[in-house]
Amino acid sequence: MIISNAYGIKMDLSWLNIVSSVFSVVAILFESSWTVNPIREETNAGIAMLVFIPLFFYRMVAWMVIITLLHSFSLVVFVGFALINIAVFFFLQDKIEIEPLVHSFLSIIFPVSCLPTSDLNKNKSFKLLFWLVLIGNLALFGALTTLCLLYNYDVYNPWCPVL
């Protein structure tokens, strides 16, 4: 997109989308790194980032594919994912220390075992993070596999509408 003013000065704004996207991803990476705090406490910050970065990119790409392909039906995946997270939070806590409903919705995109302001046992937060990552990644993999199978068997092809 090129804009110009009354003096004939032109400015190309096509680079703005790329720059803002890069800044957004970098900001999300730095701001969300507290979610892997249980891993950082067990090992060190380098290993925590080695776990965090591929997990972050896998989840972002998986959600983008699901939202792009399913459009309004992606709400079904969101609700299913939230229900899975609620079940994880209910079954892994003996007494409810973390609100399952709030944290399950916070964990839809990226797993949140506890907020930085909450004081939770290290073992419990590590266990919650592990199961949220494992079950969440399996659920995303299942959704992507289902989409791929539907596309390969010509049941659902969003790029080729049936005439």
User: From CA 151, how far away is CA 143, in angstroms rounded?
Assistant: 12
- Give residue 151's pLDDT: 86
pLDDT at 138: 94
Put simply, whether the predicted model's pTM sits higher than 0.85 gets the answer: no
What's the pLDDT band for 116 if we cut at 50, 70, 90? low
Query: Residue 135 above 90 pLDDT?
Result: yes
Higher pLDDT: 149 or 113? It is 149
Kindly give, in sequence order, each residue whose CB lies less than 8 Å from that of residue 88, ignoring residues fewer than 6 positions away.
104, 128, 131, 132, 135
Higher-confidence position of 126 and 142: 142
SS3 85: helix
Q: Determine the straight-line distance between the first and last CA of the chain, rounded to whole angstroms.
A: 35
% of the chain beyond a pLDDT of 90? 13
Q: How far apart are CA 113 and CA 68, in angstroms?
A: 28
Structure tokens at 80: 């299913």
pLDDT above 70 for 55: yes
Strand partners, 87: none
Q: Please report, for the chain, the start and end positions of each structural domain, with discontinuous segments joined by +.
A: 37-152
Mean pLDDT of 20-37: 77
